[in-house]
Chains A and B, each alone.
Chain A
Amino acid sequence: MLTFTEIKRSFLVSVWFMFLTFPIMVIRVNTIENVVIWRWKNMLFVGAGSFVLSFVWRFLMRRKEVGSKDAEAGGTSKSIFQRFMEEKRLYYPALGAISVIVVLFPLVFSMYQVNIMISGLTYVMLGLGLNIVIGLAGLLDLGYVAFYAVGAYAYALLNYHFGVSFWIALPIGAGLAALFGIILGFPVLRLRGDYLAIVTLGFGEIIRLILENWNEFSFGPSGIANIPRPAIPGIEFTLHQNTIFIYYLVVLLVVFTIFVVNRLQDSRIGRAWIALREDEVACQAMGIDKTKTKLTAFALGATWAGMAGVVFAGKTTFINPASFTIWESVMILCIVVLGGMGSILGVVVGAGFLILIPEYFRAFSEYRMLAFGAALILMMVFRPGGIVSGMRKTYQFEGIENGEASDKKA
């Protein structure tokens, strides 16, 4: 393996990198004393680093090639997650353990941790909703954050003007978001792929700009403050208790979301979404109403964003348009893509990676975008299907006697 050509290649790579980074890593102009400092040591680091990295890179590439050859030869190319979920003896205890951890979490960890968890779980909800639109129906929606904003502002404004409580606002926010999903859906019915992405991106920005500029309606950039936290009527919560309460509420909502999304994707509608993603023309020719199917995907995807928005408003007690920028959409998109499109577990894992890890590595927050980019590139190269790829349940036929199709992971 450590042949001469390999070493030569890595050597060339490192020389190339040293050359590329020379101006920024080595030369430093001290403008006060008007001298140039030559930091040759840095050059050495860059050289050594890229030398090692190029070895690692080629090793991984080779492994990947072997992997895909195995897959072609009919070998197993299943991910760890997949094998895990198929092994019932491991799956159920793991599920139990996770449930226990989730339930005990706020009793063991600090408020700070609980708050991070709440935001992570909110993104799970958002990711699961977007997963319906992108992962299942294959509609690249970049304006998803608009529905999040609709939910949040629905609660904030209804509460401000009419004193509507959180519990009533939750279904209203969800319903309003669904309605907006349909409103957005109509004009983009004929669009696909990049065109759809651009128009939905524009839609997201329009909603944000309206919220920012229509002062009489949304109070502009200053936002709305003093939104009540969700509470049980008649019980006085301390802030700490309230956070824990919100935590459990979000956990319940996530479980509810997973339950519903799981059932949806395993149904007549879910199959129609997947067929729509696979081939729009054939899908229609097989008797599926394209318009209706697309609109239900937009509406049912937006519903969860609306709910997440209401929870977000209730948790932070203050919202303004700055919380609903295009970056939020991109973040949610990354959760879905990185986690594994069309897979519920993938979204959960993706949200974990993208929300929790940056929170815990705040010290490196300057490099966050860099790490993000690197992670995405590595992902596209080595696991284009996402961390949990190929996890879609397929109908597996197991005999005509009972006429039963049991759902298995394929």
Chain B
Amino acid sequence: MEPILEVNNLTMDFGGLRALDRIDIDVKEGEIVALIGPNGAGKTTFFNCITGIHPPTKGEMVIRRPPKRNPQRLNGLKPNHVTERGLARTFQNIRLFPSMTVLENVMIGRHCRLRAGIAGAIFRNRATRQEEKQLVRDSYGVLEKIGLTRYVNELAMNLPYGEQRRLEIARAMATDPFLLLLDEPAAGMNPRETESLDELIVKIRDEEQISILLIEHDMKLVMSLSDRIFVVDYGKKIAEGTPEEIRNNPAVIKAYLGEEVDA
């Protein structure tokens, strides 16, 4: 089956710095794929390129949204259009809307699936009222799936750190994606929170039929979750394969632990 995300030869230069160097990555339907690598390897830059925040210097990015699977290029799309086409992401440094409530944060996620315009807002006609009602129901539904309902009317900034990360996932889910991009979702979480995140990610894949591409440093999480792993270092892909293959790959061990391993 053809992959739902296919990235070929992706290169990104920041001035003289080559943050990504001819990267090829693909995600198939129903997979959980991990992207790992040391700090500064270019993982976040990879996300920024496919979500339209940075236009890449070179390379092809194509998605095939199930079930139709007609290929669409991501090159040149603005971030909001990428989201409309079904990619949703979270951020390494949490970027919630801090003084909006948890519910409102999720409601923003649904923005691109709604139609009401200025006239609808002012006249508040039937269609708009209907849409708003449905919006609240749907948003609450997302919170139920992620398990955040007890914070529903809480301001996002008042949430515990781990829950803020989960709220980011909830907000991304609200956009109705077929592929979820998670940038270090377990960063700063304690072991218990990480474990429940593990369950959550599997649940999203199994129950919502959303494929997942995640960046993560927590090796335990990565090894237990992923179907396949890509390893990047200094902007280059140095390995790919199943967790088993990656664990024993000498290049990966070298990248992570430095030269001493050879000795």
Contact status A278-B98, CB under 8 Å: yes
Provide the bound-state CA to CA distance between A263 and B140, in Å.
Answer: 22
Contacts A279-B95, A394-B104, A395-B103 known; A267 to B121 CB distance under 8 Å? yes
The B interface, classified by DSSP as helix, strand, loop or mixed, is: helix
- Chain B residues within 8 Å of A271, by CB: 100, 104, 107-108, 111
Is B78 in contact with A394, judged by CB distance below 8 angstroms?
A: no
Contact across chains for B101 and A285 when beta carbons are under 8 A apart: no
B116 within 8 A of A: yes
A213 within 8 A of B: no
Whether A275 touches B108, Cβ cut-off 8 Å, given contacts A281-B53, A281-B95, A284-B80, is yes
**How many residues belonging to A are interface residues under a CB distance threshold of 8 Å?**
36
CB within 8 Å for A282 and B91 given contacts A263-B122, A410-B153: yes
Decide if B111 touches A285 in the complex (CB within 8 Å).
no
Q: How far apart are the CA atoms of A410 and B100 in the complex, in Å?
A: 10
Q: Say yes or no for A290: interface residue by CB 8 A criterion.
A: yes
Q: Which of chain B's residues has its CB closest to A269's CB?
A: B121
Note all chain B residues with C-beta closer than 8 A to A193.
none
Is B109 located at the chain interface by the 8 A CB criterion?
A: yes
Q: Are the C-beta atoms of A282 and B95 separated by less than 8 Å?
A: yes
Task: Report the minimal beta-carbon distance from B104 to chain A, rounded to whole angstroms.
Answer: 5
Write out the residue numbers on chain A whose beta carbons fall within 8 Å of the beta carbon of B89.
285
Among A266, A270, A272, A288, max chain B CB count under 10 A is at A288
* Contacting residues, chain B, for A266 (C-beta < 8 A): 121
Choose the segment among A82-90, A217-225, A398-406 that binds chain B (4+ C-beta atoms closer than 8 Å): A398-406
Contacts of B117 in A (CB 8 A): 268-269
Closest beta carbon of chain B to A281's beta carbon, Å: 6
Shortest B79–chain A CB gap in Å is 4
Instruction: Tell me how far the C-beta of B152 lies from the nearest C-beta in chain A, rounded to whole angstroms.
Output: 5
Kindly identify, within residues 96 to 127 of chain B, every residue whose CB is under 8 Å from any CB belonging to chain A: 96-101, 103-104, 107-109, 111-114, 116-118, 120-122, 124
Tell me the complex Cα distance, A345–B79, Å: 36
- A279 / chain B contacts, CB cutoff of 8 Å: 95-98
Known interface pairs A397-B152, A404-B133; A286-B99 also in contact (CB < 8 Å): no
Is B120 within 8 A of A267, CB to CB?
yes
Which of A285, A287, A289, A400 contacts B53, CB < 8 Å?
A285
CB distance from A403 to the nearest CB of B (A): 4
Question: What chain A residues lie within 8 Å of B120 (beta carbons)?
Answer: 267-268
Say whether A268 contacts B137, CB under 8 Å.
no
Question: For window 344-402 of chain A, which residues contact chain B by CB distance below 8 Å?
Answer: 392, 394-397, 400
Chain B, residue nearest A282 (CB): B95
B133 and A403 contacting across the interface, CB-CB below 8 Å: yes
Determine the chain A residues whose CB is within 8 A of the CB of B101 once the complex forms.
394-396, 410
B103 A397 Cβ-Cβ under 8 A: yes
Query: Complex: how many Å from CA A40 to CA B152?
Result: 65
A300 an interface residue at 8 Å Cβ cutoff?
A: yes
Question: How many interface residues does chain B have, given as a range?
Answer: 35 or more
Interface residues of A in 243-265 (CB under 8 A from B): 260, 263-264
Tell whether B136 is near chain A: CB-to-CB under 8 Å.
yes
Q: Which of B84, B121, B140 contacts A287 (CB 8 A)?
A: B84
Asked if B111 contacts A268 (CB within 8 A), the reply is yes
Known: A267-B120, A285-B51, A400-B137. A274 touches B80 (CB 8 A): no
Report which residue of B97, B103, B108, B117 has the largest number of chain A beta carbons within 10 angstroms of its beta carbon.
B108
Given the complex, which residues of B lie within 8 Å of A288, measured CB to CB? 80, 108, 111-112
Residue of A nearest to B109 (CB): A286
Check: A50 CB closer than 8 A to any chain B CB.
no
Q: Is B175 an interface residue when CB atoms closer than 8 A count as contact?
A: yes
For residue A296, CB closer than 8 A to chain B, the reply is yes
Q: Are B118 and A296 in contact, CB atoms less than 8 angstroms apart?
A: yes
User: What is the chain B residue whose CB lies nearest that of A287?
Assistant: B112
Tell me which of B116, B132, B134, B171 contacts A286 (CB under 8 A): B171
Check A283 for interface membership: any CB of B closer than 8 A: yes
Chain B residues with Cβ below 8 Å from A392 are 99
Known interface pairs A263-B122, A268-B121, A394-B101. Does A289 touch B80 (Cβ–Cβ under 8 Å)?
A: yes
Q: Which residue of B lies closest to A260 (CB)?
A: B122
Contacts of A275 in B (CB 8 A): 97, 100, 108, 111
Question: Bound complex: CA of A268 vs CA of B99, how far in Å?
Answer: 17
Would A267 and B116 count as touching, CB distance under 8 A? yes
B83 within 8 A of A: yes
CB proximity of A340 to chain B, nearest CB, Å: 14
Closest to A267 in B: B121
> Pick the contact of A397 from B98, B108, B134, B140 — CB < 8 Å?
B140
CA–CA, A290 to B83, complex, Å? 13
**Contact call B136/A286, Cβ cutoff below 8 A:** no
Report how far A89 CA is from B122 CA in the complex, Å.
28
Write the chain A residue with the least CB distance to B156.
A278
Within the complex, the shortest CB–CB distance from B41 to chain A, in Å, comes to 21
Contact A405 B103 (CB under 8 A): yes
| Contacting residues, chain A, for B99 (C-beta < 8 A) | 278, 392
Query: Which of chain B's residues 204-236 have a Cβ closer than 8 Å to chain A?
Result: none
Most interface-central of B104, B112, B114 (chain A CB within 10 A): B104
CA of A396 to CA of B153, assembled, Å: 6
Asked if residues B121 and A282 are in contact (CB atoms below 8 Å), the reply is no
Q: Could you give 22 example pairs across A and B, Cβ below 8 Å? A: A267-B120, A268-B120, A268-B121, A269-B117, A271-B111, A275-B108, A278-B97, A278-B100, A281-B91, A282-B96, A286-B109, A288-B112, A290-B80, A394-B100, A394-B155, A395-B107, A395-B153, A397-B136, A397-B140, A397-B153, A403-B133, A403-B134
A interface residues, Cβ below 8 angstroms from B = 260, 263-264, 266-272, 274-275, 278-279, 281-290, 296, 300, 392, 394-397, 400, 403-405, 410
